[in-house]
């Protein structure tokens, strides 16, 4: 078996006394679309944020593209990387948030251009051309000069996806990208994500959209109380779950 | 509702009646009362011991003009220093480094906790503590020569302002949604870059009104520098009335200049606010 793009090994995270993640291990291979499902508070967001170090794990390790994230091993001890080094590692991942988090003082185009120009120091002209191409790809070319407040939720989320893609990440993290949207706007965002999946992007998607998971996911992971309960193909996990907890969750969600 | 449905009787159609203009007699009455009071005050001043011709004559004499320009120079420079220090202290205060946090809290505690006029006097008289100041081995000089009224006033006013501005800035930074910082991190920004590119531009919208307030306060606080011989407008007015004894007339001259400057600042604040409210809907603004 080839080396996974993302390898999560025995990752634990506590918030005070509360154990949000308990020794979680998981592989994601290049080109794979992985959907994380589970009840509220089961640790899905925390796991996703451990991958790009927005939430550093208390113990365990996350490797991305073969590189240990957030820490460095030396003489049998782990040393936290500097903020600058962590920021550099984050360039390999893009993240899409539940509440979009677009920069409200910048237009759609400037939101996308910001990272490549300010962080990667690439020439503005070249980046703008790419950003326009990305806006076209998410169907918003004519909204380039609109501020986020002048866009619908679905449009904002599509700009947010374009903003993440502009950094040319090798992995995209989605944290419930459609759950803050009105029902009629969910489809347009999922369509962009499907197209992205088809283009071969590696994706980790926390979602409650089981239809999307069934159609797009190569693998579905069900989490509960900070552990991975079940993992397998979408057909297996969603169609004929082995674990009683997965069955209970699915019958509650589908009803 | 179908067109044939019958409406109940007893409710006449008022749609043709015009709306009569309101009398607002209470507004007229209060306005009249205020005018009477103002007229009485005006009469009192007109008949009082004030030589208005002196006010007119001294309003634009070179010493006063020089004074008001010194006032403005000091206000702008001290405010700039105050904002710079305020930003630095606010960022230190919000960092996770306990040393920086403590230093920042100590700064605010010290300079907010003592009267401004006392700080000005301390800076001006620092030669009593350190006869010579400088960087060891590189440069040094006598404190009495270096601590001119200008520099003492700048340091005193600016450093004091920094303590207040830091709290305004801190409130501004905290007003920006935490998701903004995370989004900035997610595209690879470090802490300072995120502050500069993402957080501050949004915080500016919140801090502009209180900072404008602080600046107006600063324009007037420069008058305290008259006690350390900085030739701002009040100091100039004082020097003139020591010579000609027209105390009230010259105080009115200085007062008129302060009013004029502050009146000009208000529309400037509006311009700034508009500049920083980019991207927010008119209804939200
Ligand atoms: N910063 C934090 N401080 C304290 N507790 C936290 C923090 N972040 C998460 N938690 C707790 O950790 C647990 C897991 O949170 P997480 O956000 O990962 O859940 P989730 O599976 O994403 O849930 P949801 O579907 O509601 O988003 C929750 O019980 C939550 O209350
Ligand atoms: Mg979550």
Report DSSP letters for B43-108, one per residue: HHHHHSS--HHHHHHHTT-HHHHHHHHHHHHHHHHHHHHHHHHHHHHHHHHHSS-HHHHHHHHHHH
pLDDT mean over B224-229: 94
- The ligand 1 site (C-beta within 6 Å) comprises A 15, 18, 20, 38, 40-46
Contact B186 A91 (CB under 8 A): no
Tokens of residue A195, six digits:
């197209």
Mean pLDDT computed over A162-184: 96
**Residue A100, helix vs strand vs coil:** coil
pLDDT of residue B24: 87
**Count of A–B CB contacts within 8 Å?**
75
Residue A1's pLDDT is 64
Residue B83 is predicted with a pLDDT of 97
Tell me how far the alpha carbon of residue A31 lies from the centroid of ligand 2, in angstroms: 23
| A200 and chain B in contact, CB less than 8 A | no
Residues in Cβ contact with B178 at an 8 Å cutoff, skipping those fewer than 6 apart: none
Q: Is it the case that residue B283 has pLDDT exceeding 50?
A: no
* Interface test with chain B among A103, A111, A149, A168, by most B beta carbons within 10 Å: A103
Q: Is B281 a residue whose pLDDT tops 60?
A: no
Does the beta-carbon distance from B198 to A103 stay under 8 Å?
yes
Q: Is A231 exposed, middle or buried (0-12, 13-18, 19+ CB in 10 A)?
A: middle
Rounded Cα distance, A104 and B204, in Å: 13
Between vectors from CA B251 to CA B246 and to CA B253, what angle results, nearest 5°?
95
* Structure letter (DSSP) for residue A98: T
Identify the residue whose tokens are 């207040």.
B164
Contacts of residue A126, defined as CB under 8 A and 6 or more positions apart, other chains included, come to none
CB B63 within 8 A of CB B240: yes
Instruction: Decide if pLDDT at B80 tops 80.
Output: yes
Q: Is A11 helix (H, G, I), strand (E, B) or coil?
A: strand
Element (H, E) at A19: strand A18-28
Contacts with B191 from chain A: Cβ below 8 Å:
83
Q: Is the backbone of residue A69 left (phi > 0), alpha (psi -120 to 50) or beta?
A: beta
Nearest CA to ligand 1 atom 31: A41
What structural domains does chain B harbor? 55-128+137-274 (1.10.3720.10)
ipTM of the modeled complex = 0.94
Q: Are B170 and B94 contacting, i.e. CB atoms less than 8 angstroms apart?
A: yes
- Pinpoint the alpha helices (H) of chain A: 44-51, 83-89, 108-114, 124-137, 153-165, 183-198, 210-216, 234, 244-254
Q: What's the whole-number average pLDDT of chain B?
A: 91
**A191 to chain B, minimum CA–CA distance in Å?**
23
Residue (of A7, A19, A89) closest to A54 by Cα position: A89
Mutate to test the pocket of ligand 1, among A8, A12, A13, A15 (most ligand atoms within 8 A of CB): A15
Please tell me the pTM assigned to this model: 0.86
- pLDDT digits over A96-117, tens only? 999 999 999 999 999 999 999 9
Label residue B31 exposed, middle or buried (CB < 10 Å: 0-12, 13-18, 19+).
exposed
Instruction: Indicate the pLDDT class of residue A135, thresholds 50, 70 and 90.
Output: very high
How does pLDDT run across B127-156, given as a tens digit for each residue?
Answer: 888 888 888 878 888 888 888 999 999 999
From the list A182, A129, A191, the residue with the least C-alpha distance to A161 is: A191
- The shortest CB-CB distance from A103 to any of B180, B190, B280 is to B180
Tell me: pLDDT of B284 over 50.
no
CA A53 to chain centre: 12
Residue B275 has pLDDT above 90, yes or no: no
What gap in Å lies between CA B253 and CA B236, rounded to an integer? 11
Query: Which of B184, B197, B280 lies at the smallest CB-CB distance from A104?
Result: B280
Task: Return the structure tokens found at A9.
Answer: 């090994």
* Predicted local distance difference test score (pLDDT) of residue B2: 56
A143 in contact with chain B, both atoms CB, cutoff 8 A? no
CA of A221 vs chain B CAs: smallest distance (Å): 24
Range of lowest pLDDT (A76-80, A185-189, B64-68, B276-280)? B276-280
Average pLDDT value for chain A: 95
Tell how far the Cα of A42 is from the centroid of ligand 2, in angstroms.
Answer: 8
For A15, the 3-state DSSP assignment is strand
The structure tokens listed for A206 are 């926390």
Residue B109 has pLDDT above 90, yes or no: yes
**A210: nearest Cα among A181, A179, A182, A185:** A179
Spatial separation of the C-alpha atoms in residues B186 and A52, rounded to whole Å = 8
User: What digits encode the pLDDT tens for the residues B153-189?
Assistant: 999 999 999 999 999 999 999 999 999 999 999 999 9
The answer to whether residues A35 and A213 touch, using CB atoms and an 8 Å cutoff, is: yes
Chain-chain contact of A164 with B187 (C-beta, under 8 angstroms): yes
**B55 is written with which tokens?**
């006010």
Give chain A positions within 8 Å (CB) of B279. Answer: 104-107, 147-149
Matching residue, tokens 């900072």: B211
Q: Which atom of ligand 1 is nearest to the CA of A39?
A: 25
A198, HSE (Cβ side, Cα atoms, 13 Å): 8
User: What are phi and psi for residue A152, nearest 5 degrees?
Assistant: -70, 165
- % of chain B beyond a pLDDT of 90: 70
Q: Is the pLDDT of residue B285 over 70?
A: no
- Are A147 and B284 a contacting pair at CB < 8 A? no
User: Do A161 and A83 contact (CB within 8 A), yes or no?
Assistant: no
Give the separation between CA B125 and CA B123, rounded to whole angstroms. 5
Residue of chain A with shortest Cα separation from B185: A87
Task: Report the separation in Å between the CA atom of A93 and the middle of ligand 1, taken as the mean of its atom positions.
Answer: 21
Cβ neighbours of A93 in B, within 8 Å: 186
pLDDT at A34 over 80: yes
CA of A197 to the centre of ligand 2 (A): 21
Residue A72 bridge partners (DSSP): A79
- For chain A, give the longest Cα–Cα distance: 55
Centre of ligand 2 from the C-alpha of residue B200, in Å: 28
Residue range B227-248: mean pLDDT, rounded? 93
Q: How far is the CA of B108 from the centre of ligand 2 (A)?
A: 39
- The runs of H, that is alpha helices, within B48-61 are 52-58
Strands A33-38 and A202-206: parallel
Nearest to A216 by CA among A244, A189, A242, A241: A189
Tell me, what's the pLDDT at B49? Answer: 83
Task: Tell me the mean pLDDT in the region B62-91.
Answer: 96
Element (H, E) at A35: strand A33-38
> Which of B183, B189, B284 is opposite residue A119, by nearest beta carbon?
B189
**Chain-chain contact of A164 with B180 (C-beta, under 8 angstroms):** no
Smallest CA–CA distance, residue A169 to chain B, in Å, is 10
> Alpha-carbon distance B134 to B126, whole Å?
13
Q: If you take atom 1 of ligand 1, which residue's CA is the nearest one?
A: A15
Of the listed ligands, the closest to the CA of A20 is 1
Question: Mean pLDDT over residues B257-268, rounded?
Answer: 93
């Amino acid at each position: 078996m080839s080396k996974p793009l993302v390898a999560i090994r025995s990752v634990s995270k506590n918030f005070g006394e509360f154990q949000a993640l308990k020794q979680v291990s998981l592989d994601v291979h290049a080109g794979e679309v992985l959907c994380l499902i589970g009840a509220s508070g089961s640790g899905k967001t925390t796991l996703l944020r451990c991958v790009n170090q927005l939430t550093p794990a208390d113990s365990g390790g996350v490797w991305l593209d073969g590189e240990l994230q957030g820490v460095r091993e030396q003489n049998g001890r782990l040393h936290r990387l500097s903020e600058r080094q962590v920021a550099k590692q984050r360039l390999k991942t893009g993240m899409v948030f539940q509440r979009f988090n677009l920069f409200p003082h910048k237009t759609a185009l400037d939101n996308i251009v910001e990272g490549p120009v300010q962080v990667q120091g690439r020439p503005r002209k070249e980046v703008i051309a790419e950003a326009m191409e990305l806006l076209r790809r998410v169907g918003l070319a004519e909204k380039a000069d609109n501020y986020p407040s002048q866009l619908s939720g679905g449009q904002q989320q599509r700009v947010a996806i374009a903003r993440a893609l502009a950094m040319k990440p090798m992995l995209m993290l989605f944290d419930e990208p459609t759950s803050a949207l009105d029902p009629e706007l969910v489809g347009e965002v999922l369509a962009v994500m499907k197209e992205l999946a088809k283009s071969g992007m590696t994706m980790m998607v926390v979602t409650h959209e089981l239809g999307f998971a069934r159609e797009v996911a190569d693998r579905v992971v069900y989490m509960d109380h900070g552990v991975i309960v079940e993992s397998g193909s979408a057909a297996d996990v969603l169609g004929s779950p082995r674990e009683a907890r997965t069955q209970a969750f699915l019958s509650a969600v589908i009803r | 509702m179908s067109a044939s449905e019958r409406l109940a009787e007893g409710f006449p159609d008022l749609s043709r009646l015009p709306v009569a203009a309101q009398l607002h007699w209470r507004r007229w009455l209060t306005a009249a009362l205020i005018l009477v009071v103002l007229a009485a005050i005006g009469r009192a001043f007109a008949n009082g011991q004030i030589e208005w011709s002196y006010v007119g004559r001294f309003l634009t004499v070179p010493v006063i003009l020089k004074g008001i320009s010194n006032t403005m120079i000091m206000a702008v420079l001290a405010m700039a220093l105050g904002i710079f220090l305020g930003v630095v202290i606010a960022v230190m205060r919000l960092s996770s480094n306990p040393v920086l946090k403590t230093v920042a809290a100590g700064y605010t505690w010290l300079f907010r906790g003592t009267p401004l006029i006392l700080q000005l006097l301390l800076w001006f008289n620092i030669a009593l503590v350190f006869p010579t100041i400088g960087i060891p081995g590189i440069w040094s000089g006598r404190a009495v020569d270096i601590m001119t009224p200008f520099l003492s006033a700048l340091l005193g006013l600016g450093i004091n302002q920094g303590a207040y501005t830091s709290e305004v800035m801190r409130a501004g930074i905290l007003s920006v949604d935490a998701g903004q910082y995370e989004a900035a991190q997610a595209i690879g920004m470090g802490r300072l870059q995120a502050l500069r590119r993402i957080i501050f531009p949004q915080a500016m919208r919140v801090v502009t009104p209180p900072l404008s307030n602080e600046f107006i306060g600063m324009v007037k606080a420069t008058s305290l520098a008259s006690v350390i011989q900085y030739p701002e407008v009040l100091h100039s007015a004082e020097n003139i009335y020591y010579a000609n004894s027209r105390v009230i007339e010259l105080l009115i001259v200085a007062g008129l200049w302060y009013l004029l400057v502050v009146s000009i600042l208000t529309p400037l604040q509006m311009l700034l606010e508009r500049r920083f409210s980019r991207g927010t809907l008119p209804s939200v603004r």
